[in-house]
Amino acid sequence: MPPLSFELDDEDDLEIVPGTEADLTPEDLQLLGSDELSADLGEDEELKDRIFPLDITAGDLDVPGAELDDDNEEIGEEDEENNPYSIGGDRHENLEEESDPGR
């Protein structure tokens, strides 16, 4: 038996029509879960049943030196790469500033 082939013509109308078996019941929606969580049963599963609000802003983190450029951040001129916690580049070399580079 040859495989079935399915081609769409421009005239074919494949939209969902209310009142047909394509409708979702409230039970179906509950089983599907939130559209904001991944359905792969991974780390999001733990978020589904949490009892505390999720804080994703991390506003309570204490980053040494972060307050040094707060005034500049407020006017949109943040220069984070020159803050002490950012010195050293991607390879984290020269992490300490030297007062006498010739040493």
Q: What is d(CA 49, CA 35) in angstroms, rounded to the nearest whole number?
A: 15
CA distance 14 to 85: 56
49: tokens are 């049943």
Rounded to 5°, angle at Cα 29 from 22 and 56: 135
Give the residue ranges of DSSP H helices in 14-86: 26-32, 44-48, 70-74
- Rounded to two decimals, the pTM is 0.23
Look at residue 84 and give its three-state secondary structure: helix
SS3 58: coil
Per-residue pLDDT of the chain (103 residues), as tens digits, is 555 555 655 555 566 677 777 787 888 888 877 777 666 767 767 776 777 777 677 777 777 777 766 777 777 776 666 666 666 666 666 656 555 555 5
